[in-house]
A = this chain, B = another copy of it.
Amino acid sequence: MVTATVWNEFRHEREDDVVAEQYPDGIHETIAEFLDERGFETRTATLDEPDHGLTGEVLDDTDVLLWWGHAAHDEVNEEVVDRVQERVLDGMGLLVLHSAHYSKVFKRLMGTSCSLKWREAGERERLWVVEPSHPITEGIDEYIELPEAEMYGERFDVPAPETLVFTSWFEGGNVFRSGCCYRRGAGKIFYFRPGHETYPIYHQSEIQQVLANAVEWAAPGEGPDPEYGEREPLESIE
């Protein structure tokens, strides 16, 4: 059984009524709940817990970590960032949600600024599937429509995704690479654009389906555990 830990800043929901209405117990609880319903073992962790809730013990028991952050990226401790990066390189899956494009964890793993264009105008978004054979698209139609979304637009300053699964169209005239798969070390990473805190996006069933698919896809496998460092020859050398 795949174990998912949902991490959230959990600030907006306590400070902003509009957000609290969408996610009364926090975005993390909403996500954990629908993943639980889909058969994953789930746990949550938030910024204001000790170690941000991400102790070595918690991560030891995490197959896939979901990360939602927005306003408090800077408050995330470098040691926790180190720990998460290390675990990803060791095989833990990572799902980076919406505004977490700017999280320390994602920037660390990408090596780029992860900057983008944005606009909050409640405009329509349509996520088109461009790679229908990818397991993250299971059960999804040709596109997902979000009636109201914050806009994220290109240029998105990330390395070209190893697989580009979704591309977004926005009413205001922009496009965006919205579903991006990466491998880093032994770990799989999926960036998924939708998810603003003031829209009911995580209550939409297709979004829930994509995230469940992505947890399944990102879960660590049983591939080899490479050894590094000095090594004897396997063949005789003249």
The reply to whether A223 and B113 form a contact with Cβ atoms under 8 Å apart is: no
Q: Main SS of the interface on chain A? A: loop
Identify which of B134, B164, B227 contacts A164 (C-beta below 8 A).
Answer: B164
Stretch from A12-20, A25-33, A51-59, A121-129 contacting the other chain: A121-129
Is A74 in contact with chain B by the CB < 8 A criterion? no
Is A2 in contact with chain B by the CB < 8 A criterion? no
Identify which of B117, B128, B231, B235 contacts A227 (C-beta below 8 A).
Answer: B117
Please provide the chain A residues from 96 to 153 with a CB less than 8 Å away from any CB of chain B in the complex.
Answer: 108-113, 115-119, 121-124, 126, 128-135, 137-142, 151, 153
Stretch from A38-46, A64-72, A178-186 contacting the other chain: A178-186
Q: Say yes or no: A91-B133 contact (C-beta < 8 A), given A119-B233, A172-B237.
A: yes
A89 to B155, CA, bound (A): 13
A232 to B173, CA, bound (A): 10
Is A177 in contact with chain B by the CB < 8 A criterion? yes
Q: Say yes or no: A140-B233 contact (C-beta < 8 A), given A113-B185, A160-B183.
A: no
The reply to whether B140 and A223 form a contact with Cβ atoms under 8 Å apart is: yes
Identify which of B121, B175, B228 contacts A167 (C-beta below 8 A).
Answer: B175
A120 to B155, CA, bound (A): 28
Complex contacts, A89 vs chain B, CB 8 Å: 112-113, 157
Q: Which of A89, A91, A111, A141 has the most chain B CB atoms inside 10 A of its CB?
A: A111
12 of the cross-chain contacts (CB-CB < 8 Å) are: A112-B184, A117-B231, A123-B233, A130-B154, A130-B156, A132-B186, A133-B185, A138-B222, A151-B233, A155-B226, A160-B163, A162-B163
